[in-house]
Amino acid sequence: MSRPLWKRATPIAMLLLVGCATSPLPESTLELEPLVLEAQGQKVVEVDARERFQVAADAYARGRHSEALRLFQDVARLFPDSKFAPHALYNAGLALVQLQRFDEALSVLADARERLDADEDRFDALCQLGTCYEGLERWQDVRGVMRQVLARKGLNVRDRVEARIRLGLAFHRLGDWAQAERELDLALEEHRKNPGVPSLKNNPWVARAQFVIGEMYRELFRSIQFRLPVEAMERDLSDKSSFFLKAQTAYLQAIRLSTKPWSVGAGFRLGELYEAMVEDMMKAEIPADMDETDRRIYFEELKKYVRPMVERAVDIYQRALQMNDRLGGAEEWSKASEAGLDRMQRMLEAELREKTDE
C-alpha cells in the first residue's frame, strides 16, 4: 500500500501508452508536453515536465529522497495545471514519508488525493495518510483510515491483511487489547489461508502482528506475582503459565518469519520471558513461619526447577544474537540480548561456585 505512482500506468507510463494501433492518432488528440523557462543562476533553461518527473522518479528509486522531493515539488510548482502535478504531489508526499516529515506529508498527500483522478491512486494516497498518522502516533486517525481501507470493495489479500493488522495495532495503542487481538487474529488467520501469496511471505506486518500479540501476553504474564496464601499462589501459577505459553507461541511465530526487526525483537523477548519467570519464582512469597532449615530445603528444591529455565534463557539469548547478526536487526535488540545473556550466565556461574564451595 505504498507504491510510487510511476510503478503503475501513471504519469510517465501514461504518456507512453500508445497501444498496439498502427494508424496515426487523430490530429485533434495530439498533446504537446508542457515546457517552461526557468532561471538557473545567470542562465534561463527550458524545463520539460516529463523529463523532470523522470529524473525525480530515478532519484526516489535510488533512495535520494531529499533530491526526489525537491524535483517532484518543482514539477508540481512549474506545471500546476498539467496531468503531472497531482502525481508529482503524491510522490513528493511519499518522499516526505521516507524522510519522516509526517506533518508536511499529511498536507501534501491530502492535496494530492483531492486532485488525483483515478480511484486506485486516491486509495494509495489514503493508505499513505494512514502511514503519516502512524508516524505521528495519532492512533484514532489510524483506526479511522484503516476502517476506510477495509471497506473498499475488491481489496486484494495482501492489502486486506496489512490493513487489518494496522487496525489491530491502532487498537493496541489505544488500550483496547481485546479488540486488538481480534483484529490481529483475523489478519493472521487470513495469512495462514493464503500461503501462496508471494507478498505475504516474510511480510514485516505479519511478523509485527505476532510480536505485538506476544507483547500483550507478556504484559499480562508480568502483571501476576506469586502471593500467599497457597491457594492464591496456585491460581496465580496457572494463570501466569497460561500467559507465558501464549506469549511464547506468538514470539516463536514471529521468529520463524525471519523478518527484521520483529523476529529479532521476538528472540530477545522470548529470552526475557524465561528470565522473568526465573526472577518471579525466586522472589515468590514464602510463609513467615518457615524456619531456616525449611527455607534452605525450599530454595534447593526451587533451584531444580529454575536451572533448566536459566539454561533455556541462555540458549535463546545466544540464538537471538545469531539471528541479529544474520538479519541485521536493530542495535537495541542486540545490546538487550547481550545483557540478558550475561545475567543468565552469571547466575549459572554463581550456582556452580556454590556447589564447588560445598
pLDDT for the residue numbered 144: 98
Higher-confidence residue of 27 and 296: namely 296
Report how far residue 88's alpha carbon sits from residue 74's, in angstroms, rounded to the nearest whole number: 9
pLDDT by residue (tens digit) across 107-129?
Answer: 999 999 999 999 999 999 999 99
Asked whether residue 5 carries a pLDDT value surpassing 60, the answer given is no
pLDDT by residue (tens digit) across 135-163?
Answer: 999 999 999 999 999 999 999 999 999 99
Asked whether residue 185 carries a pLDDT value surpassing 90, the answer given is yes
Q: Which helix (H) or strand (E) holds 111?
A: helix 102-115
Asked whether residue 283 carries a pLDDT value surpassing 80, the answer given is yes
pLDDT for the residue numbered 310: 94
pLDDT for the residue numbered 89: 96
pLDDT for the residue numbered 10: 41
Query: Please, which pLDDT band fits residue 20 given cuts at 50, 70 and 90?
Result: very low
Name, in order, each residue with C-beta under 8 angstroms of 214's C-beta and a sequence gap of 6 or more: 247, 248, 250, 251, 254, 266, 269, 270
pLDDT for the residue numbered 296: 85
User: How many helices (H) and strands (E) in the chain?
Assistant: 14, 2
Higher-confidence residue of 289 and 47: namely 289
Query: Please, which pLDDT band fits residue 305 given cuts at 50, 70 and 90?
Result: confident
Report how far residue 200's alpha carbon sits from residue 92's, in angstroms, rounded to the nearest whole number: 27
Query: Please, which pLDDT band fits residue 4 given cuts at 50, 70 and 90?
Result: low
Query: What pTM did the predictor assign?
Result: 0.81
Asked whether residue 263 carries a pLDDT value surpassing 70, the answer given is yes
Asked whether residue 355 carries a pLDDT value surpassing 70, the answer given is no
pLDDT for the residue numbered 356: 52
pLDDT by residue (tens digit) across 47-105?
Answer: 688 888 999 999 999 999 999 999 999 999 989 988 899 999 999 999 999 999 999 99
Report how far residue 207's alpha carbon sits from residue 169's, in angstroms, rounded to the nearest whole number: 12
pLDDT by residue (tens digit) across 215-256?
Answer: 999 999 999 998 888 888 889 889 999 999 999 999 999 999
pLDDT for the residue numbered 211: 97
pLDDT for the residue numbered 357: 52
Asked whether residue 26 carries a pLDDT value surpassing 80, the answer given is no
Q: What is the mean pLDDT of residues 308-326?
A: 93
Q: Count other C-beta atoms under 10 Å from residue 17's C-beta.
A: 8
* The three grid cell numbers given for residue 23, joined into one nine-digit string: 494508424
Mean pLDDT of the chain: 86
5-14, 231-240, 321-330, range with greatest mean pLDDT: 231-240
Name, in order, each residue with C-beta under 8 angstroms of 206's C-beta and a sequence gap of 6 or more: 161, 165, 187, 188, 191, 200, 257, 259
The CA-based dihedral angle spanning residues 54, 59, 65, 69, taken in that order and rounded to the nearest 10 degrees: -30
Asked whether residue 330 carries a pLDDT value surpassing 80, the answer given is no
pLDDT for the residue numbered 339: 94
pLDDT for the residue numbered 149: 97
Higher-confidence residue of 39 and 11: namely 39
Domains in the chain, please, with CATH?
Answer: 1-12+34-136 (1.25.40.10), 210-358 (no CATH)
